[in-house]
Structure 1
Amino acid sequence: MLYSKTTPAEKRRLFRERLASGQIQRFPGAFNPLSAKLIERKGFDGVYISGAVLSADLGLPDIGLTTLTEVAGRAQQIARVTELPAIVDADTGFGEPMNVARTIQTLEDAELAGTHIEDQVNPKRCGHLDGKSVVDLGTAAQRIRAAVDARRDPNFLIMARTDVRAVEGLEASLDRARALVDAGADAIFPEAMRTLDEFAAMRAAVDVPILANMTEFGKSELFTTQQLADVGVNLVIWPVSMLRIAMGATDRALDTLLEEGRLTSKLDEMQHRAELYELVDYEAYNRFDSNVFNFEVQRTRAAD
């Protein structure tokens, strides 16, 4: 009932343990707290919170318009309802190195298990769009060093995302990844990799966990979890997939409402009320109310 029973520190510890197990960790993207609960119910390993999703949720493009306060607030709402670890996209860290340091401590306080800081120039662009620009290596490494220095819980995962592959090519991205690991990154997120061979090359280049972004309509082919595991990927995310599916279904339902005047033909596509109540543990709240308010008001003599 209410929020998760597992403490943020324990979630982080368990996440680190699982990440080191050699078994690939599957993190679908949650677009709200309820979808995070469903991700847990289905048996996935964790929850990913995408900057693109948080921007879209506000009706904004993913170009760095969201603030740390907005991201941390929404991420906490999502992270605290599930027993799973949650990782959030922190874009470029919301400013200069001191801002990056504040970002890390704010996200720790927001109960996240980890985050990633990228090496794009701010304002950033979606990682699978053309026309991106990246900062120089010194600036990118400075962001990671600031993040690591600010961290209070050693199990809070600080991941370095590099967008160099789409800008300067594979070899440059491998060099950048090595340098970011040297700067203290716990894991590497190589954005916009095109082939399994490229993921394998990244695996060979660094000795920390690597993440694969299986976003639709982008630069990367949509590989299966097993294919990625076979080349040594440790963590896979589907950042915007659930939002895209939900919005696609909503779009079609609205068309049906316009055309038919009711949604009777869509009932089989809906989550049933009973399924929703089970997911939010409605019965537990009823039991809580009964236990707290199960008393009778004593009559006074004046009332008699």
Structure 2
Amino acid sequence: MLYSHRSPARKRETFRERLDSGSLLRFAGAFNPLSAKVIEEKGLEGVYVSGAAVSAELGHPDIGLTTASELAARSQEISRMIELPTLVDADTGFGEPMNVARTVQLLEDAGVAGLHIEDQVNPKRCGHLDGKEVVDDATAAKRIRAAVDARRDPNLVVMARTDIRMADGLPATVRRAQLLVDAGADAVFPEALRDAGEFEAIRRAVDVPVLANMTEFGKSPLLTTRQLADIGINLVIYPVSLLRVAMGAVERALDVLTVQGTLESITDEMQHRARLYELVDYEAYNSFDSSIYTYRPGRGQDD
């Protein structure tokens, strides 16, 4: 009932332990707290909060319009509902190194287990769009050092994302990943790699965990979990997948309503009321409420 029983500190410890386990961790993108609860129930190892998904929910494109406060608020809403660790897309840190430091502490207070900071110029763009620009080596390293120095819990995972592949190719991506590890990154996230061989090259080049982004309709092939595990990838994210599935269902339902004047023909495709009540633990809330309002102190008890 209500919120997670596991503390943010314990979730961070768990995340670090699992990253070091040698097993591939699967983090699906949650677009709200309810979807996060489903991810947890289905047995995945963690939940991802995508900057693109948060932007889309607000009705904006993923071009740096979301604020750090908006991201922190959604991250807290999701993190406090689940026992799983949450990894958050912190974009470029929302400004200069001091802004990066503030963003890290905002997200730490929100209860997340990890976050990643990228090396795009401000304002950033979606990682799989053409025309991205990245900052120079010194600026990229400063962002990571600021993030690492700002965290108060040493178990908070600070991951470095690099978007340099589309601008300068794979060799530059390898060099940038190594630079960011030297700056203190706990893990690396090479965005928009073109094939399994490129993931293998990054895996060989660094001695920290590596994340693979299996977003649909992007630059990277949709490798299976078996393929990623065989390469030695430590974590895979599906950042916007559930939002895409949900919004596809929304559009199809509205088309049916427009044509048929009722949704009766697709009720078997809907989440049943009983299933929703199960997910939100309605019975526990009802029992708690009943126990408070029906309680009567026995005779002889102190007021």
What TM-score, normalized to structure 2?
A: 0.97
Deviation digits for residues 95-154 of structure 1 (CA, Å, limit 9, x no counterpart): 100110011111000000010000000111111000000000100000000000011101
The percentage of counterpart residues that share the same residue type is: 70
Amino acid in structure 2 at the alignment position of 1:151: R
Give 1:296 deviation, angstroms.
Answer: 5.6
Query: Aligned partners of 2:265 and 2:183: how far apart in 1?
Result: 56
Distance 2:33 2:179 in 1: 36
Aligned to 1:41: 41
User: C-alpha distance in 1, partners of 2:297/2:140?
Assistant: 65
Distance in 2, matches of 1:5 and 1:139, equals 39
Q: Deviations over 1:176-199 (max 9, x none)?
A: 000000000000000001111110
1:22-61 residue pairs with structure 2 within 5 A? 22-61=22-61
User: What code does the residue aligned with 1:165 have?
Assistant: R
Query: Which amino acid in structure 1 is aligned with residue 246 of structure 2?
Result: A
Distance 1:190 1:292 in 2: 52
Equivalence for 2:227: 227
Map of 1:65 onto structure 2: 65
Shift of 1:269: 0.8
- The residue identity in structure 2 corresponding to 1:183 is A
Task: Give SS of 1:27's match.
Answer: strand
1:1-304 correspondence to structure 2 within 5 Å: 1-295=1-295
Gaps of at least 5 residues in structure 1 are: 299-304
- What is the TM-score when the length of structure 1 is the normalising length? 0.97
CA distance in 1: counterparts of 2:130 and 2:106, whole angstroms: 31
Between the two proteins, the alignment pairs up a number of residues equal to 298
1:265-294 alpha-carbon deviations (Å, 9 max, x no partner): 111111111111001100100111012111
What is the alpha-carbon distance in structure 2 between the residues aligned to residue 119 and residue 148 of structure 1? 15
Q: Partners in 2 of 1:16 and 1:174 — Cα distance?
A: 23
* Distance in 2 separating the partners of 1:67 and 1:127: 18
Partners of 2:29 and 2:37 lie apart in 1 by 12
Cα shift at 1:295? 3.3
Amino acid paired to 1:29: G
Runs of 4+ in 1 over 6 A off after TM superposition: none
Tell me by how many angstroms 1:297 deviates: 10
Could you tell me which residue of structure 2 aligns to residue 302 of structure 1? Answer: none
